[in-house]
Amino acid sequence: MRYDPKSPLDVQRATVRFNKLINGKRPFELTEVKERNLSEEQQRTIRQNNTVHLWFSVFAEEIGCTFDECKRDVKRKLLGRKPVINVITGETDWEDYKTSEMSVAELSSFMEKFKFWAQADFGCYLPYYGDVGYEEMMREYKNR
């Protein structure tokens, strides 16, 4: 949980939570959230987001599945899944990566993998902005 030390409510909530943890029997970890270096960790760009979602539409049509199935399965194939701890049960669960949480560099890396994999394994061309066929892809798939 993230707490803002400038908020009296958050300070009280953090104090209650900390007291519960230090009086408990299990070890715990306390971390400080540091500000991100925006030049390195900048969230994906709108152009990246639009392009990758167009690619999911194109690829879904190419392989004969829905957009949501395509998005889920491509991310699982190329990125795998990440472990998360279920806070209620304490067990490890697995969740899919989310493109909305990726930085510019992370999404760029994913898109590069997606582009080469789709072409090599399926013969499906996925153009970047400025590549031959991008504008046609945009016109055909942008409203789907």
Q: Tell how far CA 2 is from the center of its chain.
A: 20
Residue 69 CB partners (closer than 8 Å, separation 6+) = 60
Instruction: Measure the CA–CA gap between 129 and 47, rounded to whole angstroms.
Output: 8
12, 13, 14, 17 alpha-carbon torsion, rounded to 10°? 120
pLDDT digits (tens, 9 = 90+) for 82-124: 999 998 999 999 999 999 889 999 999 999 999 999 999 999 9
Instruction: Tell me the three state secondary structure of residue 3.
Output: coil
Helix boundaries (H) for the chain: 8-22, 38-41, 46-63, 67-79, 104-122, 134-141
pTM, whole model, 2 decimals?
Answer: 0.69
Question: How confident is residue 2, by pLDDT bands cut at 50, 70 and 90?
Answer: confident
pLDDT at 54 over 70: yes
Question: How confident is residue 41, by pLDDT bands cut at 50, 70 and 90?
Answer: low
